[in-house]
Amino acid sequence: MKRLLGFVLVVCLLATSVQESNARKAKLNKNKLTLGINVGYRLRVKYSRKKVKWKTSNKKIATVSKKGYVKTKKKGKVTITAKIGRKSLKCKVTVKAPSLKEKQITINRYEKHLLIVNYAKKIKWTSANNDIATISQKGELRGIRQGDTIITAKADKYTLTCKVKVDNDPSEQGSYIHPNTVKVRSISTPLLHGKGYAQGGAIWGSEYFFVSSKADVIVYDFNQNEVTKHFVLDQSEKHEIHCNSVCFGRKYDENDPYPLLYVNAYNSKVSPEGTCFVYRLTETEDGLTSTLVSTIRIGFTDQKLWKEEGNPLAYGNFVVNRDLGKLYVYNLNDKHHVTRFFVFDEPTENDDVDLNKEDLLSVKDLPYFPYIQDNCYKDGKIYIVSGGLYGTPPMLRIISINSMKQEKYLYLNDIGLPYEPESIDIYNNKLYLRFNIRDKIQLYELTI
């Protein structure tokens, strides 16, 4: 009896399924289409296995094959009909000519922007003046210098144009340092590279301390033109330092040969906060050694207010004003497109320090400095090197401490330096930039 009931139930279900299938009406997979010229599209009839006859209302605009493959020919409107017995299914096709999404645009110097041509596959791009703006064959527009030019896109016998105006970058606050006034000298030095990737550096006296991403420190003496010291930073506590910014601060003890060395922790696994490790350097029979005496954390970087105001995490860009005993921490504020400087008193405790909002002396906004590489302080000014990644040009920026404004700037490309420096510092009133070029270390001296 149970088997009989089960058989009857299966038969009923199958019958219901067949009825539902038959109840569905045949239809096209698309009733309307908008296509470009010389574009193909496959139309299909759903819910029918009967033979289909395809027809176009205008072969000059679009054709259709026996299998429903539509091929567009020129601009216009056409109807594709699928006939199944006595029933006709129709799809209205609009064929559009290529068109530029933007017919005029204003960009900044060195800014990149993607131009898009709708309803076209093969496009040939040209610029009327490559000295003002260039265009790649993928449609990537790039501003070179201030001025106006025309970008042309040729597609399917159509010629499209876009008027382009290139303005100066808003980050070009202050006066431009003319390249003719800058003397550049390449310095032949020993291999200034420890373990890991070469990062920031700092000068004390005639010695340049180069720090790698593996906390390996090479000390180069300008007077002797050779490496005189080599040591590894204390890593007794579990942390991962990045050494993107390196600078000297106050002295731990007046008898110490060097001030405290500040090294940032851009890639800290201990905390997502902005972190700086402070090292005391002492001389022993085996040479220089380092001891971690303090960890400075920007304690309010995780607070809700910080994120709401558009500040990403403090990426460890620290610089110390030894004259005034101030500590500057800065990062990019993406929401307002500025570089935000946070000013604190330099901590004097030889212990872990958390700097919070109540410790802030002031907050200043400066032009947007993408990809800050390193910085140094000298005689009331902060020198910053930035850029060099994702199309942003490498730049030198000089910030006045008194006004907290950018006083001068220089595009390093304009003096023949196409890469971003990893470190910057000053010795005998001359700037020294260190570059990583094809796994080699190169030092340049700039007289401004």
Best CATH choice for the domain 99-167 from the list 3.90.660.10, 3.40.50.10860, 3.40.640.10, 2.60.40.1080: 2.60.40.1080
Q: What is the CATH number of domain 175-447?
A: 2.40.128.630
> What pLDDT score was predicted for residue 191?
61
Q: Do domains 99-167 and 175-447 have the same CATH topology?
A: no
SS (H, E, C) the chain: CHHHHHHHHHHHHHHHHHHHHHHCCCEECCCEEEEECCCEEECCEECCCCCCEEEECCCCCEEECCCCEEEECCCEEEEEEEEECCEEEEEEEEEECCEECCCEEEEECCCEEECCEECCCCCEEEECCCCCEEECCCCEEEECCCEEEEEEEEECCEEEEEEEEEECCCCCCCEECCHHHCEEEEECCCCCCCCCCEEEEEEECCEEEEEECCCEEEEEECCCCEEEEEEECCCCCCCCCCCCCEEECCCCCCCCCCCCEEEECCCCCCCCCCEEEEEEEEEECCEEEEEEEEEEEECCCCCHHHHHCCCCCCCCEEEEECCCCEEEEEEEECCCCEEEEEEEECCCCCCCEEECHHHCCEEEEECCCCCEEEEEEECCEEEEEECCCCCCCCEEEEEECCCCEEEEEEEHHHHCCCCCCCEEEEECCEEEEEEEECCEEEEEEEEC
> What pLDDT score was predicted for residue 41?
95
> What pLDDT score was predicted for residue 203?
93
> What pLDDT score was predicted for residue 309?
55
> What pLDDT score was predicted for residue 308?
52
> What pLDDT score was predicted for residue 135?
95
Per domain, the residue ranges of the chain are 27-96, 99-167, 175-447
> What pLDDT score was predicted for residue 226?
86
Query: Residue-wise pLDDT tens for the chain (448 aa)?
Result: 545 555 544 445 444 444 444 447 899 999 999 999 999 999 999 998 899 999 999 999 999 999 999 999 999 999 999 999 889 999 999 999 999 989 999 887 767 788 999 999 899 999 999 989 999 999 989 888 889 999 999 998 899 999 999 987 666 678 889 999 999 998 876 665 567 677 888 999 999 998 887 788 989 899 988 888 999 888 766 566 667 788 999 999 999 999 999 987 654 444 445 678 899 999 988 889 999 888 887 755 444 444 555 555 444 578 889 889 998 887 766 666 677 788 889 888 767 788 777 788 888 877 777 778 888 999 999 999 987 665 678 889 999 988 888 899 998 989 998 778 888 999 999 999 988 776 667 889 999 8
- Is domain 27-96 in CATH 2.60.40.1080, yes or no? yes
